[in-house]
Chains A and B, each alone.
Chain A
Amino acid sequence: MNTPSEARQRPPIGMLAELTHRCPLQCPYCSNPVELTRKREELDTETWQRVFAEAAELGVLQVHLSGGEPALRQDLEALVASCAEHGLYSNLITAGVNISRARLEALADAGLDHVQLSVQGATAEVNDYIANLPGAFDKKRAFAAEVTDVGLPLTLNSVIHRANLHQIPDLVELALELGARRLEIAHAQYYGWALRNRAALMPPREQVMEALELVEAARERLKGKLVIDAVVPDYYARLPKPCMNGWGRQSLNVTPAGKVLPCHAAETIPGLEFWNVREQALGDIWQHNPAFNAYRGTDWMPDTCQSCDRREIDWGGCRCQALALTGDATQMDPVCELSPYHDEIQTLAITDSSRDDDFTYRRFAKSTPH
């Protein structure tokens, strides 16, 4: 058994630093919350640098510099340098449409370890339609060439859904052509913007199964050449995903405004109060914020999960998904075949997959006067 008090002694391994919600792209599956944080509310350079120092002290090994588009922060070089100074492995997660050669070299010089470039499709037509940004694909290709030319290792990441699922073989070819050493084929996860756009994104079941086989075959074929990691689409699954490898167990997110979360979507859960790095040290938040202990370990689990052999494999699945689909975050993840909601979720996915809704692109809400 894993009680919250035992579990909270474990330090986190990874930290997602969401430096900004500003982004030139408008992907309809964005993992950012529907209510985006504005520039004036973002943490300043010094606060982020303190957070990196505290993260290293706490035991974090890897920092994922993300957004929004992290390169819209003018201080990105200083933030990368701060990660390097504290021995943190830095991973830049970027759309790759606004980083010049000179800036890329400056980031490399500051100690950047790795670049993860998103592509929304394998062709300009599909990519630019999904990102809602004409010309984006050509910029991404040029950026990828510069990343490998500078000598930084490159991962290509593509979020997969109904409008680009047919391009999986082309994405594999693109990754090879661009010199990526790693490819992430990440089926959309339905939170935030993706939840709002689910009826426009959900692929049909047969196509998902075919896509999984294609990825598996490519992974075998390209062993030693290209590492392919897949994030599976869980609405059609029998077993829930081990979301974040357990709530408050291995990783944490810091939002642009400084809130510390166990995952992207945790703020959707009512009744949890998340502490802010402006007021508290990261280690105190990790250990003592009641929101981090709310679903830590196994004690919080419903009886069916508590008595399940997989309780420390899938860690009860995803709390945000339980909330989104059943209205109750303490429910079993409805993806699990033992959940009373399981059949309903499968039906919902099949229904969504046959609709022809348009995208609601990710945008800031219209400005309200303050």
Chain B
Amino acid sequence: MSADTDIDSDAAGVPDLHESDVVKIPRGVRLREDKARGGWVLLAPERVFQLDPIAQQVLTRVDGERDVAAIVDDLAQAFAAPRERILVDVRAMLADLITKNILEVA
């Protein structure tokens, strides 16, 4: 029944996501806290993705309004980390989830 998959923040993805793209969580997918087990999860048809802390930081910023560049800027500032490196990681993670039909380009 429920597949149980972890999302790695360094998962390899499809690299054709642009900084100006806006990503959204489509209907049928929900992001919520998982109090019983701790952490956050993405709930999708027949699937539960348990998020690591980095994936949680990225996905809680996916609101269907901010573009990829804005999310990366925000993360770079929040974690005082080099922007280029964050961009690579965020892009890979989002592209991977788009391939799995868990996220959509708005």
Which A residues are closer than 8 A to B by beta carbons? 11, 13-14, 16, 58-59, 61-62, 64, 87, 89, 91, 113-114, 116, 151-153, 155, 181-182, 184, 223-224, 226-227, 229, 244-245, 250-251
Query: Knowing that A61-B34, A181-B45, A229-B3 are A-B contacts, what are 12 other residue pairs whose CB atoms are under 8 Å apart, sorted by A's residue number?
Result: A13-B2, A13-B48, A61-B2, A113-B27, A113-B30, A151-B27, A152-B28, A155-B46, A182-B45, A224-B14, A250-B4, A251-B2
A275 → chain B closest CB, angstroms:
20
Q: Of B14, B28, B34, B37, which contacts A114 at CB under 8 A?
A: B28
Q: Give Cα A13 to B5, complex, Å.
A: 12
A180 → chain B closest CB, angstroms:
10
Contact with A along B6-35 (1 / 0, CB 8 A): 000000001000000000001110101011
Q: Which of B77-85, B86-94, B98-106 contacts A (4 or more CB under 8 A)?
A: B98-106
- Interface of chain A, helix or strand or loop or mixed? mixed
Q: Which residues of B contact A226 (CB under 8 A)?
A: 101
Q: Of B1, B26, B32, B100, which contacts A153 at CB under 8 A?
A: B26
Q: How big is the B interface, by class? A: 20 to 34
Q: Are A224 and B99 in contact (CB under 8 A)?
A: yes
> Are A91 and B2 CB-contacts (below 8 A) given A113-B28, A224-B99?
no
Q: Which residues of A contact B98 (CB under 8 A)?
A: 224
Q: Which residues of B contact A14 (CB under 8 A)?
A: 1-2, 48
Q: Which residues of A contact B41 (CB under 8 A)?
A: 61
B47 → chain A closest CB, angstroms:
9
Q: Of A64, A182, A224, A227, which contacts B1 at CB under 8 A?
A: A64
